[in-house]
Amino acid sequence: MAYTAEISRSNPTCFLFLVDQSGSMAERFGDQSGRTKAQGVADAINRLLQTLVHRCSKGDYILDRYCIGAIGYGDEIGLGFPGSLAGEVLRTVSAIGNGPLRIEDRVKRVEDGAGGLVEQRVKFPVWFEPIAQGKTPMCAALQVAQEVVSEFVSQHPRCFPPIVINVSDGAATDGDPGPMAAALRNVASQDGNALLFNVHISSRGETPILFPPDEGRLHDEYARLLFRMSSPLPAEMLRQAQVREASVQEGARGFAFNADLSSVVTFLDIGTRVDSTSR
Amino acid sequence: MAIGSRTFWLARKGNTPAEYEDASAANEAAGRYALADGATESCFAGLWARLLVEDFVKDCDADLQSWPDSISFLQVLWDAEVQSRPIPWHAQRGVDQGAFGTFLGITLAACPEGPCQWQAVAVGDTCLLHTRGDALLRAFPVECSKEFGNAPKLVGSRMSLDEIRKRESLWTDGRGQPGDRLWMMTDALAHWSLVEHEAGRNPWGELESLLSGPETGEHFASWVEGLRDVRGLRNDDVTLLAIHL
């Protein structure tokens, strides 16, 4: 059965982030926060990376169940992470966890258990800064991504299929990204085809949408384009998504419109879960 | 009735022995045995598993219904040990959440001649399998292979006692005869054993041969690796505590 391979240090999987850094990302994000789309992208990627690292933290060390890579696209195609992680496209999750650019103190509102909210100080590691410069060579980025995951799969043929997460406003300037996306989804390990998920960061102030099964609620042509490029959630990921949100339907795709996709990382089975069903 | 025990363990393939997060303890003089399995997704889970088993075998309380009462003290020990270390940013959430694990504890009351009485308490899917020859007499708390999943009930280092008491902790007891085996196993091996048993094969014979094998861990490691490679044993930390009555 596909998408059931063990994810462990001896059989790691790969996450690859495609980060839109084009000039259009300087526009205002549609989530009422006052942030730019570039800031929305940076926060989305940093939150995803944080979730990946948290899942592999054992306390005083990080277990390397994942390799994680990044490809920025804007003025140029930028391979890999900035700062101390520069030099290679893919890094182990422990290298990522130990190598953020900086760790910010942020304030988060959490439920106080009595129906209200309290502010809590949290550490927020930053790997990506907001960048908004140049055009949107999404096709070129998808092609490089295909090469990176093909290489990973050739080295780890039994791996859980690589997961590519593209965060963009969707307006590619180098052609139709659809065929490139299809080619990327055709890369396969013995456990199934690579998964391409998309996060659409939009200026439209519409209700966030997560894991839709069709285009019906998507009013933006770029959102529809990114939806069509997105892989359906494999069975176990769909089941986990439905545990969290009963409204997620059969045929749901790995797509988010102005929404946080980081939960998708927690849908992967790495061993005994610690969640509301077990605690 | 002479009672003895042997413990075998092997870390998940790809992990080092230092990263093994099961824990076992045996106090033959007191007739107390325990096994715990630190949850993959939690921080400092191996430490929590060790505290759970070591405390259980030291305790002399014959009433297993009161087992959770000592956990508050273990939670203080876990917290003190964790807070004594530098906590990196990625562990802070896990430390706040606490460590989690499954647990199985057994007490034996040996009679000088004839059967002995055993009692067991369990949270989650660390299992006791009571066999006599090739017959499985009892599987506890998981009774068949289909009941295993990746979200078992867990006992946590920051749970309140009330929460732990509501954990669906299960108690049971039984009688053993000379020659019987009580196999305590963490979930991967228990799942494999029940799958084999349900398919009409005889996993108990294979387990029995471990008891007559060399004292070194290599024999067990080689057997487990063979199961992982071709016979469907999930790659996880594996621990077997065998009690021979």
Contact A30, A200 (CB under 8 A): no
CB contact A158 to B (< 8 Å):
no
Domains present along chain B, CATH in parentheses:
4-244 (3.60.40.10)
Q: Which amino acid is at A114?
A: A
Question: Which pLDDT belongs to residue B169?
Answer: 65
Which residues, in sequence order, are CB contacts of A74 under 8 Å at separation 6+?
A: A20, A21, A22, A23, A25, A131, A132, A133, A134, A135, A136, A137
Give just the sign of the alpha carbon dihedral A234, A208, A19, A73.
positive
DSSP conformational letter for A43: H
CB-closest option in A54, A62, A270 to B40? A270
- Cα→Cα distances B100→A162, A234, B44, B88, B164, Å: 29, 28, 9, 19, 11
Nearest-CA distance B177 → chain A (Å): 35
Residues 6+ apart with CB under 8 A from A204: A30, A219, A220, A258
Q: Rounded distance, CA B39 to CA B26, Å? A: 21
Instruction: Look at residues B236, B68, B234, B96 and name the one whose alpha carbon lies nearest to residue B160.
Output: B68
Chain A residues near residue B95 by CB distance under 8 angstroms: 59
Buried b (16+ CB within 10 A) or exposed e, A59-75: bebbbbbbbbbbbbbbe
Q: Which residues of A touch B37 (CB under 8 A)?
A: 272
User: Cβ–Cβ of A279/B82 closer than 8 Å?
Assistant: no
Q: Give the nearest partner residue to A60 out of B15, B91, B93, using CB atoms.
A: B91
Q: Cα torsion at B169, B174, B180, B185 (round to 10°)?
A: 0
- End-to-end CA distance of chain A: give it in Å, rounded: 29
Contact: A60, B85; criterion CB under 8 Å: yes
Q: Which chain A residues touch B85 with a CB distance below 8 Å? A: 59-60
Contact B41 A274 (CB under 8 A): yes
A129, A160 Cβ separation under 8 angstroms? no
Q: How many angstroms away from the CA of B56 is the closest CA of chain A?
A: 21
Which residue shows structure tokens 């099961």? B22
Contact A63 B102 (CB under 8 A): no
* Cβ-Cβ contacts under 8 Å, B84 against chain A: none
Residue located via tokens 């545990």: A243
Contact status, residue B128 vs residue B150, Cβ threshold 8 Å: no
C-beta atoms of B151 and A273 within 8 A: yes
Q: Using CB atoms, which residue from A58, A270, A278 is nearest to B154?
A: A278
Q: For the whole model, what pTM was predicted?
A: 0.86
pLDDT-flagged residues of chain B (< 70):
1-2, 62, 111-113, 167-169
ipTM of the complex as predicted: 0.83
**Contact residues, chain B, for A123 at CB < 8 Å:** 89, 92
Q: A59 CB contacts (<8 Å, ≥6 apart)? A: B43, B44, B47, B82, B85, B87, B91, B94, B95
Quickly count: other Cβ atoms within 10 Å of residue A29's Cβ. 23
Tell if the CB–CB gap between A271 and B159 is shorter than 8 Å.
no
Length of chain B in residues, anyone? 245
Chain B contact for A157 (CB, 8 A cutoff): no
| pLDDT tens, per residue, chain A with 279 residues | 789 898 988 899 999 999 999 888 888 877 767 788 888 888 888 989 999 999 999 998 999 999 999 999 998 888 888 888 888 899 999 999 999 999 998 888 777 777 888 888 888 899 988 888 889 999 999 999 999 999 999 999 999 999 999 998 878 899 999 999 999 999 999 999 999 999 988 877 778 889 999 998 888 889 999 999 999 999 989 998 998 888 899 999 999 988 777 777 777 776 666 764 444
**Per the CB < 8 Å rule, is A279 touching B154?**
yes
Q: At what angle do helices B203-211 and B187-198 cross, to 10 degrees?
A: 130
Nearest to A63 by CA among B197, B43, B199, B117: B43
**Contact across the interface for B40 and A272, Cβ inside 8 Å:** yes
CB contact (8 A) between residue A59 and residue B44: yes
Q: What is the dihedral of CA B12, B13, B18, B19, to 10 degrees?
A: -50
Residue spans per domain, chain A: 13-100+124-267
Inspect the interface and report whether the beta carbons of A272 and B13 lie closer than 8 Å. no
Using a CB cutoff of 8 Å and minimum separation of 24, what contacts does B133-140 make?
B133/B179, B133/B204, B134/B202, B134/B204, B134/B205, B136/B197, B136/B204, B137/B174, B137/B180, B138/B172, B138/B174, B139/B190, B139/B194, B140/B170, B140/B172
CA distance A161 to chain B (A): 18
Contact B159 A279 (CB under 8 A): yes
- Measured CA to CA, the distance from residue A93 to residue A269 in angstroms comes to 16
The arrangement of strands across the sheet holding B135-140 comes to B4-10, B238-244, B181-185, B127-132, B135-140
Nearest CA in chain A to B92: A59
Q: How far is CA B240 from CA A71, A208, B207, in A?
A: 46, 49, 9
Which CATH class for the A13-100+124-267 domain?
Answer: alpha beta
CB–CB contacts below 8 A, A to B: 94
> Cα(B34)–Cα(B67) distance, rounded to whole angstroms?
12
Q: Could you give the CA distance from residue A123 to residue A5 in angstroms, rounded to a whole number? A: 33
Distance CA(A54)–CA(A266), nearest Å, equals 10
Verify whether the Cβ–Cβ distance B44 to A62 is below 8 Å.
Answer: no
